[in-house]
Amino acid sequence: MGKERENAGLTRRHALECMAWAGTGVLWTVSGGIPKSLSLLDAAEAAEVSQGGMTFLQISDSHVGFDKEKEVTAVDTLTEAIGKVKTLPVKPAFMIHTGDITHLSKDGEFDDAARIIGSTGLDVGYVPGEHDLIDPGQGKAYLARYGKGTLGAGWHSFDHGGVHFIGLVNVVDLKAGGLGNLGAEQLAWLKNDLEGRSASTPIVVFAHIPLWAVYPKWGWGTDDAAQALALLKRFGSVTVLNGHIHQIVQKVEGNMTFHTARSTAFPQPRPGTAEKPGPMIVPADQLRSMLGLTSVDFTVGKERLAITDTSLARDV
Amino acid sequence: MRATHPITALTTLGAALLLLFPLMTPASSKEMHVSISNFTFEPRTTTIASGETVRFVNSDDMVHTIVAADGSFRSDALDTGDSFAKTFLKPGTYAYFCGLHPFMKGTIVVK
């Protein structure tokens, strides 16, 4: 057993429960203005932290329409993930989806995603991934469904529980050899959105592609993110939630916490461990444990940011 | 009943051939293939004569698109097994990339 198993609350049965779940989400709770992530499966922990706090859920990269894994489709694993959401001991206030809802931006894929995710009855704040904008209208299908109340390619902000949430779009107008892109228009909007806001307001920024350079060689970063982060620097608590890379990676820099969520559909290799970032196609009986292989050390404050299924899968 | 006149039959045959002709590939036209495999365009640089066609064939298990760096052409989403053909009429160098994975780059040189 690794040192990450020091948490006495975890059992082998718990580990097997994690093994049985391909799709993952990240449950975030805001307590004292500091967002903390919890394992979806750690009911006791969630119940404890949620007392007096506000919880919301992040899911990402559902890739509805992807069917290259053996025996299970992205619809199957999204359905499993949403099934877990429904059994949470503490009902989240709402969800965010950090993009790549669909694989090919097809109407049927959007419809399936809406039906499955909608079955939770929760409000969902969306931002698109690049896979959501490859309809012939280059994003018209996404905006027709999720564009209401947004600007440009779908960026928007809202407040909940004293936290200011900002959904950014960094998957439009990508350039040859470039990374994610926010663009001047969106940056100007962000500046305006933040202006006059108290520095003590906790900020949660969510976008598809990571807003920091995780692995530029594979496009895992955003070219003009530095300009957005400069605007956010004066705030006391900034949490940046991304998807795109289908694995958990976290970085803490000053008052900013950066975190990427797993996919509910398929894993991708860790940076540099494969020649290319393509989907990892693994035998069906291994898929769920393969998804569990990504791990990260969580070191914000005193709280361990517990996404425990990563190391548990490795232990088995 | 009316017997088919030999001349009428020949005329009909000729018309049929004329209809078919545009569907046939002219002998002078060549189609070069660029394969998309493991997030890579192969060959990276394709040289053709003006009027020739390049067909991009996706054999990856991931969707890709073909986008001209100058925005002059763009394919639909290419899932596994899909392809996109583009005929280049003007000589020049055309840089392109994958709109989903912009680190994937290639070049078409038209002589």
pLDDT digits (tens, 9 = 90+) for B37-92: 999 999 999 999 999 999 999 999 999 999 999 999 999 999 999 999 999 999 99
Identity of residue B25:
T
Identify the pLDDT of residue B72: 94
Homologous superfamily of the B27-110 domain (CATH):
Cupredoxins -  blue copper proteins (2.60.40.420)
The reply to whether B39 touches chain A by the CB within 8 Å rule is yes
Between chains, do A278 and B38 touch, taking CB under 8 Å as contact?
yes
d(CA A303, CA A73): 35
Quick one: chain B helix, strand, coil %, rounded to 5?
15, 40, 45
Average pLDDT over residues A168-172: 98
**Does B32 contact chain A (CB < 8 Å)?**
no
User: What local confidence, expressed as pLDDT, does residue B26 receive?
Assistant: 46
- Give the percent of chain A with pLDDT over 70: 73
Q: Are A182 and A222 in contact (CB under 8 A)?
A: yes
Kindly determine whether residue A134 and residue B100, on different chains, have CB atoms separated by under 8 Å: yes
Q: Provide the pLDDT for residue A28.
A: 66
> What residue in A sits closest to B76 (Cα-Cα)?
A136
Q: Which of A45-49, A208-212, A276-280, B8-12 has the lowest mean pLDDT?
A: B8-12
Residue A306: what pLDDT? 31
Are A98 and A243 in contact by the 8 Å Cβ rule? The answer is yes
The answer on pLDDT for A91 being more than 90 is no
> On the CB side of A141, how many CA atoms lie within 13 Å of its CA?
22
- The residues facing A57 across adjacent strands are A27, A95
On whether the CB atoms of residues A148 and A189 are closer than 8 A, the answer is no
Q: Which residues of A touch B103 (CB under 8 A)?
A: 177, 217-219
Q: At what angle do helices A225-232 and A184-194 cross, to 10 degrees?
A: 10
* pTM of structure: 0.81
- Residue B25: pLDDT over 90: no
Split at pLDDT 50, 70, 90, the class of A287 is: low
Asked if the C-beta of A175 comes within 8 angstroms of chain B's C-beta atoms, the answer is yes
Are B20 and B83 in contact by the 8 Å Cβ rule? The answer is no
Kindly tell me if the per-residue pLDDT of A167 is higher than 50: yes
pLDDT score recorded for residue A314: 32
DSSP result, A145-193: HH-TT-BTTTBEEEEETTEEEEE---BSS--TT--BB--HHHHHHHHHH
Per CATH, which fold does A3-315 belong to? Answer: Purple Acid Phosphatase; chain A, domain 2 (3.60.21)
Structural domain spans, chain B:
27-110
Tell me which of A16 and A168 has the higher pLDDT: A168
Q: pLDDT value at position A48?
A: 53
The distance of B36 to chain A (nearest Cα, Å) reads 12
Q: Is the pLDDT of residue B36 over 60?
A: yes
Please check whether residue A281 touches B, CB under 8 A. yes
Beta-carbon contacts of residue B100 (< 8 Å; ≥ 6 apart):
A130, A131, A134, B62, B63, B64, B65
Cβ of residue B79 closer than 8 Å to a chain A Cβ: yes
What does pLDDT average to over chain A? 79
Q: pLDDT exceeding 90 applies to what percent of chain A?
A: 49
What SS3 state is found at B53?
strand
What span, in angstroms and rounded, lies between the C-alpha atoms of A248 and A24? 10
- Provide the strand spans (E) within chain B: 31-37, 40-42, 45-48, 53-58, 67-68, 83-87, 92-97, 105-110
pLDDT confidence bin for A293, thresholds 50/70/90: very low
Tens-digit pLDDT profile for residues A12-68? 333 333 333 334 556 666 655 566 665 554 555 555 554 556 778 888 999 999 998
Q: Contacts of residue B96 in chain A, CB cutoff 8 Å? A: 176
- Residue A167, chain B, CB below 8 Å: the answer is no
Tell me which DSSP letter residue A273 carries: S
Phi-psi label, residue A92: left if phi above 0, alpha if psi -120 to 50, beta otherwise: beta
CB contact under 8 A, B62 and A278: yes
- How far is residue A114's CA from residue A65's CA, in Å, rounded to a whole number? 13
Question: Over 90: is that where the pLDDT of A3 sits?
Answer: no
pLDDT in tens, A227-256: 999 999 999 888 899 999 998 888 888 888
* pLDDT for res A175: 94
Structure tokens at A195: 């202006």
